[in-house]
Structure 1
C-alpha cells in the first residue's frame, strides 16, 4: 500500500470535519442535533448578487478558464471597497489578488515564504488552519499566548525577548476569532513596528471586521504597514457568500507577485460570473451591513442566554460571528462541557481547546442559525 507523505504525520483532520461525521451519525439515530458550532452563514447574499450571478452565467462564452489574477473589474472593486470602508488606497493592478476564499490564501502565503528550518508565530487561541498550513509548508509553528488578562493581545515585549531569528511570518487576526476581541487603538501600529524591527512578515486575517462592529479597520491603514504586512479578507461572512469562495489578498506589489507565482500553479482562475457577482456584492451600501447586523444582534442576545444557562462568563463587547465564554470551574475542560451538552441536550457547541491550549476553559457559540434554533437550544438545555 502506498504510504502517505511525512508532511501529513503532524497534521490531523480538521476538528469540524470529524465532528460533523459524528453529528451526522447521531442524526441518523434520530437525535436531531442542533449545531451551534460552525460559523457558516445561514442567511443568503443580497438578491442583487444572486441576480448578477444568474445574469452573467447565461451567456455561452463565460465558462472558460480565467486569468490567475482575477478580472480587472473585481480587483478594482476590492480596491474601491478598501478605500471606502478602511480608508486604504491600493493599486488594483499590483496590490490586490482575488482568491478562492481566504483559507487558500493562508496556504499560498505559507508555501511562498516558508520552508524547513523556518518558523511562524501563531496565535493561541487562534484559527487552527494557521498552524496546519505552516506545518504543511515544512516550517515550524510557534505559538504566542493570548490571555483574557491582556485583552487577548500579544505580549510583544515578551515576544521580543525570545529568539526570533528563524521567524519569517506572524499571523494576527482582529477582530479576533474565537474571542471576538477588537484591535484596541495602538495595537496595529505596535505590530507593524514589531514586524519591522524583527524583519517578520505580518499576515493579518480580517474576515470579521463588518460583523457587529461599527468601525471596520484594516491593518494596512497604518502608515508603512504595506511594507511589512499582507492582509487577507473575504466575502464569506460580510456578504453571506461562504460557499462562493471569494476572498482577497492585499499587500505590496512584490509580495503579491511572489504569492501569485505559487497560486498560478494551483488553480486555473475563478469562474467569471462569480467574479462579476462579487463586484456587485462589494458595491453594496451601509444598509446591507446594518440589516445584517440587526439580525446578528438579536441572535447574540439568545446566545447570551445559552451562556448564562451553562454558567459561563462572557464579555458583552465581543464582535464577530461568535460568542466566547469561560466555562465553570467544575468541568475538567471545555471538551467535557461540550460533550455533556451534546449527549444530554442534543446541542453541539465548540470547545475552545481546538483553537489552542489557551482555549481549554472556553466555549464558542456561533451566531449562524435562526432565532427558533437558539430558542430550541435554550429549551433543551433548560430541561
Structure 2
C-alpha cells in the first residue's frame, strides 16, 4: 500500500463525520435519531437572498471563473456590514478578502503564517479545526485553558509566565464556541495588548456575534488591532447560509497579502450568484437578526428544560447557537452521558470533550432543531 503523508498521522477524522456514520446506521431502524448535536442552521436565508440567487443565475457570465478577491460589490457589502454593526472602518479594496466559508480561513491563514515548529496558542475548549490544522502543518500546539470560574476568558497572568518566544499565532473566538461565553470591550483590549506586546498574530474567529448576543463586537474595533490582529467572519450562522460557503477575513492589507498568496493557489473564486446573494444578505437590517433570535430564544428555553431533565447545569448568560452545561458527577465524562442518551432515547447530544479535555465534564446541545424536535427529545428522555 502507498503510505500517506506523515502529517495525516497527527489528525483523526472529524468527530462529527464519524458520529454521523454511526447515526446513519441507527437510522436504519424504526426509530430515527434526533440530532441535537450539530450547529447546522435549519432556518432559511432571507427571501431577498433567495431571489437574488435565482436572478443572478441568469447572468451570462455567472458560470465562469470569478476573481480570487471576490467582486467589488461583495467586498463593499462586507465593509458596510462591519461599519453598520461593529463600527469598524475597513477598506474594501485591500482590507477584506472573501472566503469559501471561514473554515477555509483557518487553513489558509495557518498556511500563510506558520512554519514547521512554530507554536500556536489554542484555547481549550475550542473549535477542533484550530488544533487539526496546526497538527497538519507541523506547528506546535500550546493549549491555554478556559475555565468556567473565569467566564471562559484567557488567564493572562498565567500566559505571561510562559515562554512565548516561539508563539506565532493565538486563536480567540467570542462569542465562544462551545461555551457561549461573550467578550467585552475590556477583554478584547487585553487580547490586543497581549498580541502587540509579544508580537503574536491574533486571529479572532467571529461567526456567532449575531446569535443571542445583544452587543456584537469585533476585535478590529480596538485601537491597535490592525497591527497584530486579523478576523474571520461568516454568513453561515448569522444568515442561515452554512452550505453556501460565504465567509471573509479582514485586517490590514499587509497582513492579508500572505493569505491571498495561499488562497490564489488553492481555489478559483466564489460562484457569482452566491456572491450577489451574499450582498443582499449583508444588507439585512436589525429586524432580520431579531426575527432569527426570537426563534432561538424559544428553543434555548426548551434546551434548558432538557438539560435540567438530565441533571445538567447550564449557565443562562450564554450567547451563540449552542447551550453548554456541566454534567452530573455520576458520569465519568460527557461521552458517557452522550452515549447513554443516544442508546436509550435515540437522541444525540455532543460530548464536550471533543473540544478539548477542559470540556470533558460538559455536554453541548445545538439550537438548530425545531421546537417540535426538541420537545420530542424531551419526551423520549422522560420515557427512559
- What is the TM-score with the length of structure 1 in the denominator? 0.99
Match runs of 1:233-252 below 5 Å: 233-252=233-252
> Secondary structure in 1 aligned to 2:27?
helix
Per-residue CA deviation, residues 9-45 of structure 1 (Å, 9 max, x unaligned), is 0100000000000000000133310000000000010
Structure 2 residues not aligned, in runs of 5+: none
Using the TM superposition, give the Cα deviation of residue 140 of structure 1 relative to its aligned residue in structure 2, in angstroms. 1.2
Matched, 1:55 2:55: yes
Q: Residue 16 of structure 2 corresponds to which residue in structure 1?
A: 16
Q: Secondary structure at the match of 2:10?
A: coil
Whole-Å separation in 2 of the counterparts to 1:341 and 1:283? 42
**In structure 2, what is the Cα distance between the partners aligned to 1:241 and 1:45?**
6
Write out per-residue CA displacement over residues 90-141 of structure 1, whole angstroms, 9 at most, x where no aligned residue.
0000100000000010000000000112010000000000011111122111
Report the Cα offset of residue 185 of structure 1.
3.9
**SS of residue in 1 equivalent to 2:13:** coil
Does residue 322 of structure 2 align to residue 348 of structure 1?
Answer: no
Q: Using the alignment, how far apart are the partners of 1:290 and 1:300 within structure 2?
A: 15
- In 2, distance between residues paired with 1:136 and 1:69? 26
Pairing 1:30-69 to 2, within 5 Å after superposition: 30-69=30-69
Question: Is 2:187 aligned against 1:173?
Answer: no
Aligned to 1:359: 359
Tell me how far apart the structure 2 counterparts of residues 117 and 213 of structure 1 sit (CA, whole Å). 37
**Counterpart for residue 92 of structure 2:** 92
Gaps of 5+ in 1: none
What is the distance in 2 between the residues matched to 1:132 and 1:142?
13
RMSD of Structure 2 on Structure 1 (CA) = 0.7
C-alpha distance in structure 1 between counterparts of 2:212 and 2:99, whole Å: 25
Kindly report which structure 2 residues correspond to 1:162-241, keeping only aligned pairs within 5 A, or say none.
162-241=162-241
How much has 1:214 moved relative to structure 2? 0.9
1:132 maps to 132
- Offset at residue 61 of structure 1 (A): 2.1
Distance 2:98 2:323 in 1: 29
Separation in 1 of the partners of 2:164 and 2:154?
15
For 1:220 and 1:129, the matched residues in 2 are separated by: 23
Distance 2:365 2:306 in 1: 9
Residues in 2 aligned to 1:185 and 1:71: alpha-carbon distance in whole angstroms: 32
CA distance in 2, matches of 1:195, 1:160: 11
Counterpart in the other structure of 2:113: 113
Alpha-carbon displacement from aligned partner over 1:37-78 (angstroms, at most 9, x marks no partner): 000000010011010000000123211001100010000000
Cα distance in 2 for partners of 1:184, 1:343 equals: 40
Q: TM-score, normalised by structure 2?
A: 0.99
In 2, Cα distance between the equivalents of 1:265 and 1:76? 24
What is the distance in 2 between the residues matched to 1:214 and 1:326?
25
Distance 2:141 2:13 in 1: 17
Moved more, 176-185 or 245-254: 176-185
CA distance in 1, matches of 2:270, 2:361: 41
Q: How many correspondences in the alignment?
A: 383
Q: 1:185 to 1:79 in 2, by over 3 A?
A: closer
Task: Tell me how far apart the structure 1 counterparts of residues 59 and 113 of structure 2 sit (CA, whole Å).
Answer: 40
* In 1, Cα distance between equivalents of 2:380 and 2:116: 49
Residue 79 of structure 1 is matched in structure 2 by: 79
Structure 1: distance between partners of 2:59 and 2:10: 46
> Deviations along 1:334-362, whole A, 9 cap, x unmatched?
00000000000100000000000000000
Q: What CA distance in whole angstroms lies between the structure 2 residues aligned with 1:111 and 1:136?
A: 10
